[in-house]
Chain A
Amino acid sequence: MRYWLFIFMCYSLLFGESCNEFEECSMNPYSNYVVAEFNVMADAGRTISFDSVVLEGYGRLPYDQDTLVYLALPLDMDASGALYHYYTDSIIYTLGLTYKKEGLIYELHCDASVRFYDLDTTNQTFDSLVIVGRELNLSNYPINFEIYL
């Protein structure tokens, strides 16, 4: 009897320890903005700047008049699509997006997150647009769109 109780105790202690890993909150890769990289097709030395970039339902995006290489395009978790207009002195470019989203707890001690995924374009008027990453996950996809003018 004692032998079996000893076996039971060893067995319980051996397997009873929890073995979950914990991540730092700063490692959370989920973001709420699309990263678009702008490239000039014909002349690599030319810079890109817009008069304004407007997100329908929100308004003008900050830093839209800077010389652009990258631009963060915010997504709204209450919607499933977004429409952006890029104004220059001569042309208006348009970019329409659809996406899915889900809430999650990345780690118990971190803030809750929203994961945006299945990113796609509904319409766009740039010379070319390549979807590099369909998920807003900065670890896996630091850039989502490569846009060529």
Chain B
Amino acid sequence: MRSIFSILLLSISFLAAGQLVDTVRVKSDWNPSRIHFGVDANRFYNTVVKSYETSYGGMVDIDMHKFFVVLEGGWEKNHRIASYEYTNQGLFFKAGVDYNLIPHNIYRNAMSLGVRYASSYFSDQLVFEDDNYWYGNRTATLSNDALSAQWVEILLNLKVRIWKNLFLGSIVRIETLKNLSDTGHLVPYDVPGWGRNRKSGTDLKTTNMGFSYYVIWNLAFREKEIPNKKQN
């Protein structure tokens, strides 16, 4: 019943907009009206389930007309133990803009295309047994103290309202143009915020895909009219 009412309301709005479009030009509202605070659920899940990973991440964005100005960040530690012991930990930050493709959605859902500039600061260490036919077995320790990496992301971001001010967010990212600082005597296996640094085998990953799932709280501090489809 409520859906039918919504559809009717939408239809009326569209009809009304259709009649007014020739005469009324709605001014774009660039003043922010709400902030989204999000917790990276995927990282939280990994922290609970994966014994080698401890990771936390979050995001905050603010709306401006059809755009969201976004900041993301987090901390990640991987401690992998096999025939070697590899530890990698550091911070990452991402800043960018999302363009909402459905600003007229009545639930304030958002499907956005976005870009991010990302930066990561981390260190890593590899302890392993060097099995050498001539020199015998020796324990080797290699480490990088202060590494940094920068890259660019293009992403598709979907935010769906599930209850009142609670939203779920899902982001699929294409990460590219990675620039890693001088790595010394150890090639990092992971880059916090980027993911796996090496492709399977011998090559470094120049492009990567990433996924984030956010639980988001919508904090509205001002009423803002939801535009009709015709009001661009």
Contact = CB atoms under 8 A, between A and B. Distances in A.
Interface of A: 1, 4-5, 7-8, 11-12, 15-16, 19-23, 27, 29-30, 32-33, 55, 58, 61, 74, 76-78, 101-112, 114-115, 137, 139
Given A1-B161, A29-B202, 20 more contacts: A4-B160, A4-B161, A5-B160, A8-B170, A11-B158, A12-B213, A15-B209, A23-B200, A33-B134, A55-B134, A74-B132, A74-B135, A77-B132, A102-B184, A103-B126, A103-B187, A106-B202, A108-B80, A112-B128, A139-B202
Contacts of B184: 102
Interface of B: 80, 82-84, 86, 105, 107, 109, 126, 128-135, 138, 140, 142, 158, 160-162, 168, 170, 172, 183-187, 189, 196, 198-202, 209, 211, 213
Contact of A21 (B83, B130, B200): B200
A34 B7 CA distance: 74
Q: Does more than half of chain B's interface fall in helix, strand or loop, or is it mixed?
A: strand
A102 B200 contact: no
B187 A112 contact: no
Given A5-B162, A111-B84, A102 B128 contact: no
17 contacts: A4-B105, A15-B209, A16-B211, A29-B202, A30-B202, A58-B135, A74-B132, A74-B133, A74-B135, A103-B140, A104-B198, A105-B84, A105-B86, A107-B200, A108-B82, A112-B86, A112-B128
A4 B213 CA distance: 15
Given A104-B198, A105-B86, A111-B83, A19 B209 contact: yes
A126 B83 CA distance: 41
